[in-house]
Structure 1
Amino acid sequence: MTLPWTAIDTVLLDMDGTLLDLHFDNHFWLEALPARYAERHGLPLARSKALLAPVFAAQHGQLSWYCLDYWARELDLPIIEMKREVAHLIAPRPGALAFLQALQRAGKRALLVTNAHRDSLAIKLERVELAPWLERLVSSHDYGFAKEDARFWQALRQDVDFEPARSLFIDDSLPILRAARTFGIGHLLGVRRPDSRGTDKDTEEFAALEDYRKLIEGLEGWV
């Protein structure tokens, strides 16, 4: 994969599914949480999953979907403590940390731009050392709008001095990539396999990141 690095000053990076393996999040929301909900309410696991699926779906794309406080209230479960119980599953995607280091060597700005709740972000940073390689760690909860919302991008631009047209944004969510494109982000990449234990994803109109090593090779070749 070749990117026009001479036209890119800033790299905006999603966290879950982009820098970190999405397996942790998928396991938590699709397996661990339904199991605890089933235990709490005396339900079979299949019934718990069936009940929760439409509840989750109703919040997709909204800030509430990513808010641990919201789900703790709605489900009456200790969400943060439950996440810590399976935190051993948190892991970087192969080559992600090396890519961050390569960006720093090349003099590119790198910012984390995530929908993750600050409490979730804190748990993940305890497990994977991302902060030293990033200029800013931005959570959509700081602004009150999810990345799917145009207002998030407006708030980010007001908060962070960057040129959208000279920025690269990598994210595993197609709705978010489309929102970024509408805002004017000049370079966009999806992610082929956000969950290492899942299947390949169709990134549709977006080029896909498959291996960070190829990005690193292109970046180091540019330098």
Structure 2
Amino acid sequence: MINWSEIETVLLDMDGTLLDLRFDNHFWQRVVPDYFANKEGISFDEAIKQLEPLFKAQEGLLNWYCLDYWSEALGIDIVKLKVETQEHIKELPHTRDFLGAIKASGKRCVLVTNAHAESLNLKMQKTGLVEFFDAIVSAHDFGYPKEQQSFWHAFHQLEQFDKSKTVMVDDSLSVLKAADTFGIQYIVAITKPDSAEPPRIVHDYLAVESLGAIQPK
């Protein structure tokens, strides 16, 4: 587990780490295809068939997380649609207690997300979690997603954290591998980012269902 006495900086992902990924999964797998189907006058299944290759082509790229990109590509006001469905935005179990414990410990806590600014702002307003962070950073600020080393080099120039005394928590294994490659000492994977799905099996890193399992005492 984590020796919290050695930690100076805590880097936390947002969706699937702090917030329930159930909202985003439902939004992109049901809400967007349904809206697209109605707009195009096609069936839901046909909409899925047309959207899947578009989504697949952008996986791991910054466009994957860019609401402006998808609004233009699909002819849908994605931000408006997110605002209309925001009541489904929820925190994962133990999120607030964990953040409170980190804040009380005096360690630097930074939200590090691939989320687009519009989505980030909406979720921070909805949850009120903004108060717990010393800094909030979106990959869109740098032009590289967290999956790429270019992001970590640019981010490190900004934050200047000691990699040997830093913990990174995320639900994305590709992001965690990038953080590991960059040299961050403590890597933690969230195995239950979506409350509606069973926990995933993760072998490569310290893996926990929720932040409660690693909360400093």
Give me the TM-score of the superposition, normalised by structure 2.
0.98
| CA–CA separation in structure 1 for the residues paired with 2:113 and 2:75 | 25
| CA–CA separation in structure 1 for the residues paired with 2:9 and 2:147 | 20
Tell me what 1:184 maps to.
183
| 4+ long deviations beyond 6 Å | none
| CA–CA separation in structure 2 for the residues paired with 1:71 and 1:211 | 30
Is 1:35–2:34 an aligned residue pair?
A: yes
Q: CA deviation at 1:153?
A: 0.2
Q: CA deviation at 1:210?
A: 1.7
Q: How do 1:5-20 and structure 2 match up within 5 A?
A: 5-20=4-19
Tell me what 2:44 maps to.
45
Q: CA deviation at 1:78?
A: 0.5
Structure 1 alignment gaps of length 5 or more: none
Tell me what 1:125 maps to.
124
Q: CA deviation at 1:213?
A: 2.8
Is 1:174–2:159 an aligned residue pair?
A: no
Is 1:66–2:61 an aligned residue pair?
A: no
Tell me what 1:161 maps to.
160
| CA–CA separation in structure 1 for the residues paired with 2:210 and 2:31 | 29
The answer (yes or no) to whether the contact 2:20–2:92 under 8 Å persists in 1 is: yes
1:102 aligned counterpart, secondary structure? helix
Report the AA paired with residue 36 of structure 1. Answer: Y
Structure 2 alignment gaps of length 5 or more: none
The answer (yes or no) to whether the contact 2:94–2:211 under 8 Å persists in 1 is: yes
1:198 aligned counterpart, secondary structure? coil
| CA–CA separation in structure 2 for the residues paired with 1:93 and 1:39 | 32
The answer (yes or no) to whether the contact 2:94–2:212 under 8 Å persists in 1 is: yes
Tell me what 1:146 maps to.
145
Q: CA deviation at 1:182?
A: 0.4
Per-residue Cα deviation, 1:56-82 (whole angstroms, up to 9, x for no partner)? 011000000000000011011000000
Report the AA paired with residue 42 of structure 1. Answer: G
Q: CA deviation at 1:98?
A: 0.8
Is 1:206–2:210 an aligned residue pair?
A: no
Q: CA deviation at 1:212?
A: 2.8
| CA–CA separation in structure 1 for the residues paired with 2:38 and 2:81 | 13
1:12 aligned counterpart, secondary structure? strand
2:58 aligned counterpart, secondary structure? coil
Q: CA deviation at 1:54?
A: 1.2
Report the AA paired with residue 28 of structure 2. Answer: W
Per-residue Cα deviation, 1:37-93 (whole angstroms, up to 9, x for no partner)? 000001110110111111101100000000000001101100000011110110111
Give me the TM-score of the superposition, normalised by structure 1.
0.95
Q: Percent identity?
A: 41
| CA–CA separation in structure 2 for the residues paired with 1:85 and 1:187 | 38
Aligned residues: 217
2:11 aligned counterpart, secondary structure? strand
| CA–CA separation in structure 2 for the residues paired with 1:139 and 1:180 | 15
| CA–CA separation in structure 2 for the residues paired with 1:146 and 1:29 | 19
| CA–CA separation in structure 1 for the residues paired with 2:39 and 2:118 | 23
For the aligned residue pairs, the C-alpha RMSD in angstroms reads 0.9
Tell me what 1:102 maps to.
101
